[in-house]
Amino acid sequence: MNLFDLNQSAMRDYFAGMAEPPFRAGQVMRWVYHQGITGVGEMTNLSKQLRARLAAQTHSHLPKIIAEQLSQDGTRKWLMQIEGGGAVESVFIPEAERGTLCISSQAGCALNCAFCSTGKQGYNRNLSVAEIIGQLWQANKTLGYFDKQTPDKKTRPQARIISNVVMMGMGEPLLNFDNVIAAMDLMSDDLGFGLANKRITLSTAGVVPGIYKLARQSNVSLAISLHAVSDALRDVLLPINQAYPIAELLKACRYYSDMHKGASVTFEYIMLHNVNDTEHDARALARLMRTLPAKVNLIPFNDFPGGEFACSPRQKIDKFRDILLKSDIITITRKTRGDDINAACGQLVGKVIPRAGRYNKQQVMRSC
Ligand code: SAH
C-alpha cells in the first residue's frame, strides 16, 4: 500500500486495523508532509516493531521528475513519470505575493475541448491520490521547502513556497472525483500541507453532477471553464456542454456558492480571435455573470502546434474586460506565464498513451 494514497482518515483507519492509536496517523503524516521523509526507518518516534511492520506493508512511490524546464519569467515546468510509462506535467508559477502550483488530475483528458492541447492527446487514466499529491510533494522538495521545516514541530508548516494550488493541469478533476478529493484533503490538512481551502482551486469544464457533489464535500474555490455565452458555440468548443448546457451549469454554480456562504465562482473565458470575443459576447457574459456571485478571468489563448485558433488582439481583450468592469463584474486578464516552455494554460501535454478515445455522456455519468 502506498502511504501517499492515504488521507488522514484513511491513515487512521489503517492504523486502527493494526490496533494502533489514531495519533500514529499524525506522526507519520508529519514526517512525510512536514519533514519530507518517506523512509519509515527514519521515523524515529515510532517503535522499532511498528517501523518494521510499516516497512513490510507499505511503500511511498511518487511520480518521478524526469525533466524540468525553466521559463524566462521564472515559471518552472516538470514532467513527472507515472506508472505504466506515461508522464504528466506540473507547473510552478512564482509571483511576488504568492507561489502557485498547477497540478494534473488525469493522464490526458477525454473531454476533447477544441482549443486545448491536452485534449488532443487523448485519455489514458485517472491519477491516483499518490500521483496527485505527489506532484505537490515533489515540487516542494525540489523548491527546498522541506529543508526549511523545524523537526517535529506540532505547528503549521513554515515558510511556504507554494501558497496556492490550482487543479488546472492535465485532465478533468471532477471525472477523478474521489482521488482528487482525497488529495485536496492532504493539501489542506494541517498534518499535510496546511493550505487554506480558498487557496486551492478546482477548475472544471462543467461536469455538473460533480459540481453538486463537490459542493457537499469540499470547501475549495471553484473555477469554471466557460469560454462561450451561447450553447451553440459552447457545444462546439467544449463538447461536454451537449450534456450539461450553460443554464444547468450556472444553476450548479449558484448551488456551490450558496453552500459556501455566497463565495464567488471564478469563470474562465479564453479569448479566441473572431470566435467569442465580440462586444456582444462581452455584454451577454456580463448579463450571465450578474445572476450569481462571480468573477471573470480572461485568458489570452495560448497557441500550440496543430491548434486551429488565434488569440484575440490585446485591444479587443481590453475592450472586452472594460465592458465587464462597467457592468460591475470583477474581471482580470490572466497574465500568460511560461509560454516559452509550453507551460501556459492549455499547453500541457505530458506523455499520454491514449487508451480510451473521447468523452461520452455515459462515461461522465458513471464517473460522478
Ligand atoms: N479540465 C479542467 C481543468 C483544466 S484547467 C477545466 O477545463 O477547467 C485549464 C484551463 O486552461 C481551463 O480554463 C482551460 O479551458 C484553459 N485552456 C485550455 N486550453 C487553453 C489554451 N490553448 N489557451 C489558454 N487557455 C486554455
212: left (phi over 0), alpha (psi -120 to 50) or beta: alpha
Residue bearing the CA closest to ligand 1, atom 20 = 346
| Rg (the chain; Cα; Å) | 21
> What pLDDT, on a 0 to 100 scale, did the predictor assign at position 148?
77
> What pLDDT, on a 0 to 100 scale, did the predictor assign at position 360?
55
CB of 115 closer than 6 A to ligand 1? Answer: yes
Tell which wins on pLDDT, 30 or 361: 30
For residue 320, what is its C-alpha cell?
472586452
- C-alpha angle with apex 216: 211 to 220, nearest 5 degrees? 70
Split at pLDDT 50, 70, 90, the class of 306 is confident
Helix (H) or strand (E) holding 66: strand 64-70
The lowest-confidence range among 80-84, 116-120, 162-166, 297-301 is: 116-120
> What pLDDT, on a 0 to 100 scale, did the predictor assign at position 153?
55
The lowest-confidence range among 138-142, 320-324, 361-365 is: 361-365
Residue found by looking up cell 524546464 in the block: 69
The pLDDT tens digits of the residues spanning 249-285 come to 999 999 999 999 999 999 999 999 999 999 999 999 9
CB of 203 closer than 6 A to ligand 1? Answer: yes
The pLDDT tens digits of the residues spanning 188-221 come to 999 999 999 999 999 999 999 999 999 999 999 9
- Within its chain, how far is the Cα of 11 from the centroid? 23
C-alpha of residue 201 to centroid of ligand 1, in Å: 13
Split at pLDDT 50, 70, 90, the class of 119 is confident
pTM: 0.94
C-alpha of residue 225 to centroid of ligand 1, in Å: 7
Q: Which of 270, 349, 367 to mutate to test the pocket of ligand 1 (most atoms within 8 A of CB)?
A: 270
Tell which wins on pLDDT, 357 or 196: 196
Helix axes 279-289, 314-326, angle to 10 degrees: 40
Residue found by looking up cell 456558492 in the block: 257
For residue 213, what is its C-alpha cell?
457533489
Strand partners, 88: 80
For residue 204, what is its C-alpha cell?
472544471
Of residues 51, 29, 24, the one with CA closest to residue 40 = 51
> What pLDDT, on a 0 to 100 scale, did the predictor assign at position 181?
98
d(CA 165, CA 247): 28
Q: Is 333 helix (H, G, I), strand (E, B) or coil?
A: strand
Q: Is the distance from CB of 240 to CB of 191 less than 8 angstroms?
A: no
Per cent of the chain over pLDDT 90 is 84
C-alpha of residue 345 to centroid of ligand 1, in Å: 6
Of residues 52, 162, 31, the one with CA closest to residue 101 = 162
Report the mean per-residue pLDDT for the chain. 93
d(CA 321, CA 329): 9
Cα→Cα distances 186→182, 202, 307, Å: 7, 14, 36
CB of 271 closer than 6 A to ligand 1? Answer: no
Split at pLDDT 50, 70, 90, the class of 366 is low
Spatial neighbors of 308 by CB under 8 A, at least 6 apart, are 114
| Ligand 1 atom nearest to 300, measured from its CA | 24
Residue 345 annotated as catalytic: yes
Q: Is the distance from CB of 297 to CB of 223 less than 8 angstroms?
A: yes
Tell which wins on pLDDT, 328 or 339: 328
pLDDT (mean) for 41-69: 96
d(CA 60, CA 134): 10
CB of 268 closer than 6 A to ligand 1? Answer: yes
pLDDT (mean) for 68-91: 94
